[in-house]
Amino acid sequence: MKIITGNANKPLAEDIASFLDTEMTQCAVKRFNDKEIFVEIFENVRGEDVFAIQPTSYPANDNLLELLIMIDALKRASARRITTVIPYFGYARQDRKSGSRTPISAKLVANLITTAGANRIMTIDLHAGQIQGFFDIPADNLSCRPVFLKDIREKHNIDNVVIVSPDVGGVVRARSIAKKLEVPLAIIDKRRDNPGESEVMNIIGDVAGKTCIIIDDIVDSGGTLCSAAYALKEKGATEVKAYISHGVLPADSYKKIDESCLEELVISDSIEPKQEILQSKKIRILSIAPLIARAIKRTNSEESVSSLFL
């Protein structure tokens, strides 16, 4: 087995290699003067089971192209099997036609990865589960759920917790957490009555006097999340926290989080956090390296990874 990574999230890849008790495969990802990407692998990978770890986070296009070129280099070096481990699958929010003459970019990216020569995909909490069907190769969609469940049980009084879905589309994800914890579920119904007007949020469920934990897959600028926290507080929630799989979070977004009524935002390290995010008073990061390492080990030994979805 070989572990290789590009520039997108080296700390996560190194942590995964450490859990697997193996060394990172040495390679170089360089840029020519015109920013053209060049990948060179310094170790023999012929006949090896190779796991290429690379989230397609910011800058999404550069990191995606690094991954594609890395796959091509591994294929031409006669790797036996190439599994692309994409902790954060960029372009996943473009999983359908949102209007006339718009692309389905998630399908395009899936085609690119498959055509480049990947034999298998491993990712975490896809924005929409059906994206697995965009790939013509096996695709494992792992979940941060086990990591979040463990942390919620350790940090909170479960008897006073309500799990909250920030919108109707995220109900399945939030319900699975609520079911495991055996706690109630609430849903935020948000809409704009007129273009340009702020969102009107209605809370479906009883949150008064409760600790509300919002569950979602992606937090971007954090604006909607902060508005949701305010709406829950208005309905009597004693405190509001959020567990989000992928923290896209632009560098200055921590200010919005720190100044909001949200008590805490917990994210995974699927995307390498910027220094400003690490300095935030309210943002905490959980490692998913052990989860991915277990999935890689089972894939390498041809064992089932289905228990990691539970």
Given the residues 180, 190, 282, 297, select the one marked as catalytic. Answer: 190
Tokens 């949020």: give the residue.
Answer: 201
Q: How far is CA 5 from CA 41, 66, 99, 130, 288, in A?
A: 10, 9, 36, 26, 16
CA distance 292 to 123: 9
Task: State yes or no: is 97 an active-site residue.
Answer: no
Q: Are 20 and 67 in contact (CB under 8 A)?
A: no
List all residues 6 or more positions away from 102 whose beta carbon is below 8 Å from its beta carbon. Answer: 94
Nearest residue to 161 (alpha-carbon basis) of 242, 228, 216, 225: 242
121, 212 Cβ separation under 8 angstroms:
no
Contact 273, 257 (CB under 8 A): no
Strand 211-219 versus strand 139-142 pairing type? unpaired
By annotation, the residues acting in catalysis are 190
